[in-house]
Every structure is written in structure tokens, then in C-alpha cells.
Amino acid sequence: MIILHGRKVVGGTAAGEALVTRDTISGWGGIDPQTGVIVELRHELRGQSFKDKILVFPGAKGSSGWSGFFHRARIAGAAPKGMIFNRMTTKIALGAVVTHSPAVTDLDQDPLAVIETGDWVEIDADQGIVKVTKKRERQEPEAKREASQATHAD
């Protein structure tokens, strides 16, 4: 397990699978707030949803409408469970607040270098702590359990 320390933007706790992008995200015209799907044409996550994920990204881009689209995603039940980002702006701060998702920034390691899509991430924003269980670490116990069950079935 990897533990990162950072600064709270919005308090609370959340846990879930990470969805990671090195691209900034545009709210207005970049996401479908009804589904949480990224629709921006040239975005590396185009077609993927951040609904019920821990969204790990560098920051926001575009207009001040960013927060409004993330607010609509929360109302539709399509917001991310939590947010981890590198670049703090008023746009992303307001967006984090209106989604009511625990959010952290200013981590002691670059989250984009440490966290990968599919990793299990636990955020305790009040303490500024992010715990990361790598996807392969989560799969190893499952593979051992399956092998044990197969051995006992014979």
C-alpha cells in the first residue's frame, strides 16, 4: 500500500477504483453531466465515466461553467466519489465543493505518477491522506483464493 499526504479541499472520506488521466478536464462541453461520461473529442478518457470512481487528474480547464456541470453530475447521481488533482484553481475548488466529493491536492508525490486506473484508492480528506492499493496487489489474493478453491475441488 502506498500512502500519500496532501491538503484537504473538501472534507470527508471516499473509497473506490481510480480513473486517472494526464489531461485536464473541461466541464462545459467536456462531460455529460447525466452520465459522468467524458465527451471531449480529443480527451484520452473519451467515452469513459467517472461515476462512482476516484477521479485523478491534473486539474480543470475551460470556462467558469466547469463547476456547474460537475454540480449537475452530482444531482444526476453521476459525480465521482472523490477527486485528487495537482493544480488548484478557483474553478476546481468550486467544482469540488458543489459535487460534495472528498477532494485533496498538493500531495507529497505526484498522484499521476503513483496512481493508475484500476487501483483502489481511499481518501481521508480531513486528514489529507490518500491510500493506494495497486491493482495487481488486489488481484494477487483473489488469484490465490481461486487456486486454493480449485485445489480443494479436486
**In total, how many domains does the chain have?**
1
Give the integer Cα–Cα distance in Å for 150 and 146: 6
Please name which of 142, 127, 121 lies closest in space to residue 50, comparing C-alpha atoms.
121
Q: Which carries the bigger pLDDT value, residue 7 or residue 65?
A: 7
Residue 35 has pLDDT above 90, yes or no: yes
- 63 is a catalytic site residue: yes
Please report, for the domain that includes residue 120, its CATH number: 3.50.30.10
Q: Which residues are CB-neighbours of 116 under 8 A, at least 6 positions away?
A: 18, 20, 134, 135
Residue 139 or residue 38, greater confidence = 38
Could you tell me the residue range of the domain that residue 77 belongs to?
2-153
More confident residue, 28 or 46: 46
The b-or-e profile of 2-32 (16+ CB within 10 A means b, else e) is eebebebbbeeebebebbbbebbbbbeebbe
> Residues 49, 63, 67, 148: which is the catalytic one?
63
> Whole-model pTM?
0.85
